[in-house]
Each structure stands twice: as C-alpha cells, then as structure tokens.
Amino acid sequence: MEAKSGIQNKILKNTAVIALMIAVVLMLVMIFFMRSLTSSILLETLQPMAKSASQSVEGNLHMMADRIFMIGDNAAFTDEAVSKEEKQDLLDTAKSGIEFVWLALYSADGSLYTGSVSSPSSISQGEFFTMLKDTRNLVIDDTRVTENGLEIVIGVPLFDKNKEIIYYLIGSYKYDVLNDVLSNINIGKNGTAFIINKDGKYMAHHDSQLVFDEKTLFDSFGDKEEIHKLSEQMLVGQTGVAEIGSWNQKRIFSYSPIRGTRWSLAVTAPQSDFMAAANKAVLVGFIITCVLLLLAAAMMHRLSSRIQGPLGRVTSRIATLAEGDLHTKVEVENTNDETEILSRALANTVESMNLYTTELTRVLTELSQSNLDISVDGTFQGDFVVMKDSLDQIIEYLNEIMYEIQQAAIEVSQTSYQVQENAFQVETSSGGQAEAVTRLYDETIIIQENVEEVNKHTDTMRQFMESANSSIGAGSVHMKEMINAMNKISSNSTEIKKINAFMEDIALQTHILALNASIEAAHAGVFGKGFAVVASEIGNLAAKSGHSSRQTAEIIENSMQAITDGVNCAKQTAVSIQEMAEISAKIFDIAHKLSSAVMKEKRALETISQQISEINALAQNNLDSSRQSAAASQTLTEQSDNLKKRIQRFRLKR
C-alpha cells in the first residue's frame, strides 16, 4: 500500500507542481506586462500634464509681470516733481485694483521710499536685490513665508532719463497664484505636483505646509542619488520623465522648467496608485487558475486511482518475490495497457525462476552430498544460461580438482611412507654414529692419558741423563788426574778400543732411535701406540749403556792393575770418556727435544679431544633431529591416509 500510495502521490504532486509553476509564470508575466503598461501610460500622461502645468504657472507669472510693468510705466513714479504722497496715492490706487499683498517703491540703495504699511523697510539684503541690480530687468523672487502667509514678490527697476535706476517697484502677490494651478493637478491617490527652486526647496506644493516649513525635495523623497540626479536635470531647465524607486515602490516623475524663473515644476505619482485594476485582473486570474488546478487535481486523482490498483498488486507481488517467494501465483491484470504487459511478464518471470531455482537447488544439494557426477538439466534463457554454464563449468572444474587431489593424495601417501622409512633409517644411523663418536671420544681420552704418562717418563729420562752427564764429567776429571798412572795400561788398549767402538754403535743407534721417535710423535695424532714402542727401545738402549758402563768399569779396574804399563791406554780412555760426555750431551739434547715433542702431542690431543667432543654434541643433535623427523613423517603418513579417506567420499565423473 505504501508503494501504491507513493505513485499516486507522485503523480498528483508532479501535476500540481507543474500546473502551479505554469500559473505562477503566467501571473508573473501578467504582472510584468500590466506594470509595464501602467508605466507607459503614466509616462505618456504625466509629461503633457507637467508641461501644461508649467505653462499655466508661466501664464500667471507673466500676468503678474505685466501688471508690474503696467504700473511701472507710469512716468509719475520717475518724475521728481511728483511728491512722495502723490506717488503713494498712485501705489494705493494700483494695489486696490489688483490683488497685491503690498506694493512699494524702493530707492536705488534698496531702502523703502514709499509703500504699503506691510512693506519691508529694506530689500537690500538678499539675492533678490542683487539680481535686480545685475539684470536691470524684472525679477521674480522665491516664495516667502511672512506673517501674512505665503507671498510671491516681483520687482522691476525704474529708470530716469539717463537710464539710471532711480527706484525699484516691488509688489507681493498672494500664494494663490501658484496654488490655483497645482490644486487643479489631481493624479492618483498619492500623486502630487510641486515647484522647486535651484536649491531644491519647495516654492509651491499641494501640501502648502511643506512650503511653510521650507522643506526640500530631498526631505520628501530621500537623499538618494536618483533624487539628486532628478534635481540637477530639473534645475538646468530640462524637460523629461524619470522612474525612481524599486520594483514595488516605483514612482514616476515628470518635470518641466518654468520659463522666466529659476524654478521647475514636477508632477509625480506612485505606480501603485494605478495598479488597482491590474491587481484586480491578477487576482481574478489567480482565482481562475486555482479552480483549474483543483479540476486538474480531481482528474489526475481519478486517473491515478485507476492506475494505482493493478500496479499496486503487481508491485506487491514483486515485493514478495524480492523476499524469496517463488511459488505464489501471479494474477495477470486485464487492463489492456502496460500494467497488463508488466503483470504477464512478471508471471512468466516467476514461473521461469521457479523452474531455474528448483533445478539449481537439486544440483547444489547433490554437490553438498559430495556427488560430483551431475550436471544442470533443462532449458535456461537469458542471463540464466550464463548461470547454468557457469555451474556446469564449476562442476567440471571440481571434478578435475578432486581427481588431481586424489592422485596427489596417493602420491603423498606413498611418499610419506618412504619418508617415514628413510627417517627411521636416518634415526638408526644417527644413533650408531653417536655411539661411534662417543667411543672415539673415550679412546682419545685414553690416548691422552698415555701421552701424559710418556711425558712423565721422558722427564725422568732427561733427569737421569743430566745425572749421567754430571758423572761422566767427574770421570773425565778423574781420568785426567790418572793419566800419569794410566801410562802403563797400553796393553789393554785393544779392549778399550772395542769398548769405544761399542759406545759409538750405541750412540748411532740412539741417534736413529731419536729420529724414529720424532717421526712417530708427528703421527701420534690418531694412533699413540708407536710412541710407546719408541719409549721401550730407548729404555733398552739405556740398559745396554749401563751394561757397557759396568764392563768399562771392570776394564778400568783391570787397567788400574796394569796402570804402570797402560799410560797410553789411559790417555785413549780419557779421550773416549770425553767422547762419551759429548754423546751424553747429545742424548740429553735428544731427550729434551723428545719432551718438547711429547708436550706438543699432548696439546694436539687436547684440541682433538675438544673437537671430538663437539662432534659428539652434533651427533647427538642429529640423533634428536632424526627422531623428530621420524615422528613428523609418521604424522604425515597418518594425515595422508586421512586425506585419501576423505577424497574417496566424492563420486567423480569417469
């Protein structure tokens, strides 16, 4: 109902707005042309009226001037033989015949010579007197405010025979001379006529109080630029028409100069005074327009009601369709217009969509049950063909993907079993490797301990060699002391030579053994047993040296018995002892070097032990990693088996 009401309201609102816009435009056009017509009529009417009024004022002023000239033409006024009293009588006579307020003669200096009782005592003060002297002609003064009311003063100079000014004839007329002309100008309710001087002051006005109060044009109409411009045009003697004010407060001014004076007459009226008929016509037009709008609204309401019912039922069915109702039957509206076409198209659309959604629901249900061996059946039209083709392509694509996933799952399962087997093998190998490295580390510790023991024995040997060197040195000293006694042991020289040869053989073997020991020490980084063999050989060699020393002692005892006969042998023995001291020093040096080599071997073994310890830690880490890999491969195998089971749930196209 909201949709139907909205359509009806839109039709009515749009129609009303359009009709109202047309009515407003027509009224605005009417108002515009009515105001334009009124302005044209006022302009055409006020201009002749202003000219006619100014001419009437000019006529009255000329008549007043003629009277002054007529009185001034009397030669008695300029005749010196005529007395003042006679001249006063002439003035009184003239004043009684014409409507003067006062009439008087003034001397050339402006002082009163003779005249009416109400005449001013002097006219020398003011612009009026200056103009009389300058123009030497008739001058009409501005309207004056006196005790007698408003007056218009006119003066003319009187000349003697030498054309010199002797008197000024001044007469004052009543304001009625101007008021009679202005009072006959009646235009509109608020229209008026006025006369201003060069200062914009009122010389005459419908409202004479403004003249009494000496008001100006700007006091009545404002000190505006437009009023100043109007005043300037009036004072320079122009004739014209001006429109001043805003659109709804426009005032028409028509002005014309009054010749022979410094005045200008203007007739003005507000345009609104002449808009009554136009406003009435606009009001009648507005009423007629409103009536027509009401008639149009009634007709549009009837038409919209006829459209509203069928269209509302169709839109209601569309609303239920938008909410998902595809089963409610659509009633076809037999209106023989677009509504019938719309309802029939809606019925066909609902029927087609019902068939499409049923088939699509069937296919999607099969897909949700892991059945991919299906396709969309039936004939689809329009954009639903794209939906059908897209769903068929999705099914084909899912079949391909699931098939590839099945194959991949099988390969993953096989690979995971292989990975698991290899992981277990790596774990076993890593365990063996860790055990081997541990044993190697233990063997290295043992070798290091043996090297430490060899080092101790080498130090002991070096100490013994130091003692032997000391003993040999002492023997050499003793042998030198015993040289004289050994001169007699020459018979035993042969045996001593053998012993010396034997000692040289020992020195040679010891030297070779030291070389072998240094070579074995260089290779002791992996196997340390060779050094033990060398140490054993050095021990045997030391035993042999001891035995030879005992034999040498026995020989020396034998030689001492024959000392008297073995001097030469003693000398040779002293030489041998010296050689033995040198050999002992060499052996001591070899022992010292051997000790240094053993120390280096010890430090090398310590480094090797540390590295083997690090290798052992790495082997242990490899073992832990291989165990974790084995566990992960087992988990992967279980997951791949689970994936195979899930994939086998789908039924694919073959």
Domain final residue, candidates 236, 251, 273: 273
Least confident of 122-126, 127-131, 193-197, 580-584: 580-584
Contact 234, 173 (CB under 8 A): no
Least confident of 244-253, 365-374, 379-388, 478-487: 478-487
CATH number of the structural domain spanning residue 200:
3.30.450.20
Give domain status of residue 4, yes or no.
no
Q: Is 200 left (phi over 0), alpha (psi -120 to 50) or beta?
A: left
Helical spans, DSSP H, in 141-275: 176-183, 208-212, 217-221, 225-235
- The whole-number pLDDT of residue 600 equals 76
pLDDT above 70: residue 344: yes
> Parallel, antiparallel, or unpaired for β 202-205 and 263-270?
unpaired
Contacts of 136 (CB under 8 A, 6+ apart): 157, 165
Which residue type, as a one-letter code, is found at position 629?
S
- The whole-number pLDDT of residue 492 equals 60
What per-residue string of b and e applies to 274-300 under the rule 16 or more CB within 10 Å gives b?
bbeebeeebeeeeeebeeebeeeeeeb
- The whole-number pLDDT of residue 38 equals 64
Cα 518 from Cα 512, distance rounded (Å): 10
Average pLDDT, the chain: 76
Cα 193 from Cα 197, distance rounded (Å): 14
- The per-residue DSSP string of 536-576 comes to HHHHHHHHHHHHHHHHHHHHHHHHHHTTEEBHHHHHHHHHH
Cα 339 from Cα 335, distance rounded (Å): 7
- The whole-number pLDDT of residue 507 equals 55
Give whichever of 37-41, 282-286, 533-537, 547-551 has the largest mean pLDDT: 282-286
- Is pLDDT larger for residue 38 or for residue 52? 52
Q: Tokens at residue 508, please?
A: 């040679």
- Is pLDDT larger for residue 134 or for residue 490? 134
Q: Tokens at residue 234, please?
A: 């009036």
pLDDT above 50: residue 1: no
Give backbone dihedrals phi and psi of 170, rounded to 5 degrees, phi first: -120, 130
- The whole-number pLDDT of residue 12 equals 64
Quickly state the pLDDT bin for 2 (edges 50, 70, 90): very low
pTM, to two decimals: 0.43
- In the three-class reduction of DSSP (H, G, I as helix; E, B as strand; rest coil), residue 19 is classed as helix
Give domain status of residue 238, yes or no.
yes
Least confident of 17-31, 151-165, 238-252, 261-275: 17-31
Quickly state the pLDDT bin for 257 (edges 50, 70, 90): very high
Cα 556 from Cα 157, distance rounded (Å): 200
Cα 22 from Cα 292, distance rounded (Å): 12
What is the rounded average pLDDT of the residues 569-589? 71
Cα 486 from Cα 567, distance rounded (Å): 4
Domain final residue, candidates 222, 246, 273: 273
What is the rounded average pLDDT of the residues 203-218? 89
- The whole-number pLDDT of residue 29 equals 75
pLDDT above 70: residue 563: no
- The whole-number pLDDT of residue 496 equals 63
- The whole-number pLDDT of residue 199 equals 86
Q: Tokens at residue 459, please?
A: 């130090």
Quickly state the pLDDT bin for 298 (edges 50, 70, 90): confident
What is the rounded average pLDDT of the residues 144-156? 88
Of 650, 463, 489, give the one whose Cα is nearest residue 574.
Answer: 489
pLDDT above 50: residue 432: yes
Kind plus residue range of the DSSP H or E element containing 121:
none
Give domain status of residue 333, yes or no.
no
- In the three-class reduction of DSSP (H, G, I as helix; E, B as strand; rest coil), residue 489 is classed as strand
- The whole-number pLDDT of residue 256 equals 92
Q: Tokens at residue 193, please?
A: 């006529």
What is the rounded average pLDDT of the residues 179-197? 83
| CA trace torsion 605, 606, 608, 609 (10° rounding) | 120
- The whole-number pLDDT of residue 522 equals 66
Domain final residue, candidates 243, 273, 303: 273
> What percent of the chain has a predicted confidence (pLDDT) above 70?
70
Least confident of 142-156, 377-391, 544-558, 613-627: 544-558
Range of the domain at 114: 11-273
- The whole-number pLDDT of residue 531 equals 62
Q: How many residues does this entry show for the chain?
A: 654
In total, how many domains does the chain have? 2
Least confident of 2-11, 45-54, 194-203, 421-430: 2-11
Contacts of 304 (CB under 8 A, 6+ apart): 7, 8, 11, 12
What is the rounded average pLDDT of the residues 27-31? 71
- Is pLDDT larger for residue 539 or for residue 397? 397
Q: Directed axis angle between helix 567-647 and helix 529-561, to 10°?
A: 170
Give domain status of residue 256, yes or no.
yes
Give domain status of residue 443, yes or no.
no
Q: Tokens at residue 486, please?
A: 């050994």
pLDDT digits (tens, 9 = 90+) for 301-334: 776 666 666 767 777 777 777 777 766 777 776 7
Cα 490 from Cα 227, distance rounded (Å): 176
Least confident of 385-389, 426-430, 547-551: 547-551
- In the three-class reduction of DSSP (H, G, I as helix; E, B as strand; rest coil), residue 270 is classed as strand
pLDDT digits (tens, 9 = 90+) for 381-414: 777 777 777 777 787 777 777 777 767 777 777 7
> Parallel, antiparallel, or unpaired for β 202-205 and 192-196?
antiparallel
